[in-house]
Structure 1
Amino acid sequence: MACPESGALGHHLRSLTPEEQQKLKQQESRGLLSEFLQKKLEQEAAKNWDKFYKRNETRFFKDRHWTTREFQDLIGDGAVKRTLLEVGCGVGNFFYPLLEDGLNLFVYACDFSPRAIEFVQSHPMYDETKVCAFHCDITEDELLEKTNHTVDIVSLIFVLSALHPDKFQAAISNLYRCLRPGGMVLVRDYGLYDMAMLRFGPGSKLGERLYVRQDGTRAYYFTEEELSQLFEGAGFVTANNSYVTRQTVNKKEGIDAQRIFIQAKFVKPEE
């Protein structure tokens, strides 16, 4: 199996075609962005996400009505109200559909972008008896202090990949501290050799499997093994962790490509 990137962890979901291997080589042609520019991206990360939401408002992401199908742990028995912390909530595309479905949840929702939180709070369904939304940097701000008590479930949907890899462990340890014993983290994120990874051009690479988009936001692409190692390093137990593939077809734009995600559940051990 071809492996054009040195040091990539574990096995890969699929082999690359010669054309795809060539695309990855072309990404290397201009080298990595300078240390100065990388520091600037890190310093302006919150501002870049704020600009993203200023530009796109609530139009960019569709409501995620697939979540209870993919993460049945969200459903519960309906009798006991549970607490969900959605990290990187954006404008509420994940948790508002859950409340629409009548799930017995209280939701804490946080995001790196103050503007995203403003959109969450201006949503017609925002109800302080059901939702508490707040601005937060999960790599620095203690989540347990924000929620005032431990939570049952943390959702982490396409969030970890937006952080710099140097901050993965700090963020995951933060999640561990805010969960009750027996609580869980539900993860969905970008997998290695996803279509979006292969479409980056020269000058967009920041590090191994780490890229910057034109709007200044970043994207990282995980392997199963790496994701488990990160969470287990913080004390979690891996309940499940696997690749999810989706075929994307857009005849108008001539796109027929494979999306590769990683979907996982990590549990905080009972004391």
Structure 2
Amino acid sequence: MAIACEDYVAKCDQNVLYSTEARELSSEECVKLQLQNERLVSEHQAAKLELNAKRYWDLFYKRNETRFFKDRRWTTREFKELCSGENSYKPKVMFEIGCGVGNLIFPLIEDDPQMFVYACDLSPRAVEFVKLHPSYNENVIKAFQCDITTDEISKEIAFESVDIATLIFVLSAIHPNKFHQTLRNVFKVLKPGGVVLFRDYGLYDMAQLRFKAGHKISENFYMRQDGTRSYYFSSELIGNIFEEAGFEIRSNVYIHRRTINKKEDLDVPRIFVQGQFQKPL
């Protein structure tokens, strides 16, 4: 169940709304979702996608290198825990899961050089791009390749040594059968009182509605053209799987945004799920 703060519904700016309510579909959008069921990804193909998940993400970074994602400077606005406090007496230890090429960690290190960051990604090529960044310094960042759905993480990070972990547009790329184990793995490396900062695709996001027949793997889980996958979450599901993994919910809301381009007459609804989940003290 989502936790509300003043119902956690407040306009941040003209095109952003934080809400406990999911997005309502139009009749036309309902038809789009129904058409996706006309042809599903075969079991054989779905198994192949899972088996080759690392390869598909590595090919993604081979094609796009460091050009695809912009630096995530918005994270300190959304998550105050990432801002260094005036009274902090020792560096925070952060673990970024699915670091990509470093679009989150390098802006953070600029703002808070006292923070130490563990950064992992499924793609070895992405990790190599992080290590090639001019700001990479192993006294501040330790980047490594890892499958977070397995116990590989225990080889790199000590039990209960992390203050903050981020799961930002990462869990959606993982098979739903592995959500629980992934969160349990994160739970183990967090200190008591440590927090997971979460953001990912919300149910009925524009990207979900655009999938055609032949791309749906299972309920709310889809295959992209490049072989990578994406799941679309309800806040209820997110709350449930975090609680099942042992976390307490600090916040769990939908973020409704509108991408507006007046020149091209575009008004596209986006929806994400955002939350903070704490390991009990």
TM range, smaller chain: over 0.9
Report the Cα offset of residue 157 of structure 1. 0.4
Match of 1:129 among 122, 126, 139: 139
32, 37, 51: which one aligns with 2:45: 37
1:27 & 1:134 partners in 2: Cα distance?
A: 37
Kindly provide the CA deviation profile for residues 130-154 of structure 1, in whole angstroms up to 9, marking residues without a partner as x. Answer: 0000000011134233123521110
Paired with 1:114 and 1:141, the residues of 2 have a C-alpha distance of 17
Could you say which structure has the greater relative contact order, defined with CA pairs below 8 angstroms and 6 or more residues apart? 2
Distance in 2 between residues matched to 1:253 and 1:59, nearest whole Å: 24
Q: 1:116 deviation in Å?
A: 0.1
Larger mean CA deviation between 164-173 and 244-253 belongs to 244-253
1:15 aligned partner: 24
The equivalent position to 1:158 in structure 2, one of 169, 181, 186, is 169
Counterpart AA for 1:88? G
Structure 2 gaps of 5+ residues are 1-19
Identify which of 70, 92, 104 aligns with 1:82. Answer: 92
Q: TM-score normalised to the size of structure 2?
A: 0.89
Q: 1-side partners of 2:215 and 2:265: how far apart?
A: 23
Deviation at 1:76, TM superposition (A): 3.6
> Cα distance, 1:251 vs. partner?
5.0
SS at match of 1:28: helix
Query: Which of the residues 237, 246, 250 maps onto 1:235?
Result: 246
Q: Which amino acid in structure 2 is aligned with residue 212 of structure 1?
A: M
Say if 1:252 and 1:163 are closer, same or farther in 2 by CA, change over 3 A. farther
Deviations 1:142-196 (A, max 9, x none): 4233123521110000000000000000100000001010101000001001010
Question: Residue 276 of structure 2 is aligned with which of 250, 262, 265?
Answer: 265
Q: Distance in 2 between matches of 1:176 and 1:145?
A: 15
Change (3 A) 1:203 1:253: farther
Q: How many Å apart are 1:208 and its aligned residue?
A: 0.3
Ranges of 4+ aligned residues in structure 1 off by more than 4 Å? 251-254
Q: Name the amino acid aligned to 2:204.
A: Y
**AA partner of residue 25 (structure 1):** Q
* Equivalent of 2:158 in 144, 148, 151: 148
Q: Which residue matches 1:191?
A: 202
Provide the aligned C-alpha RMSD in A. Answer: 1.4
Report percent identity of matched pairs: 54
Listed as ranges, the gaps of 5+ residues in structure 1 are: 1-10
Question: 1: distance between equivalents of 2:93 and 2:41?
Answer: 41
User: Matched residues in 1 for 2:21 and 2:220: separation?
Assistant: 13
Q: Tell me the TM-score normalised to structure 1 length.
A: 0.92
Match of 1:107 among 117, 132, 155: 117
Letter in 2 for 1:14: R
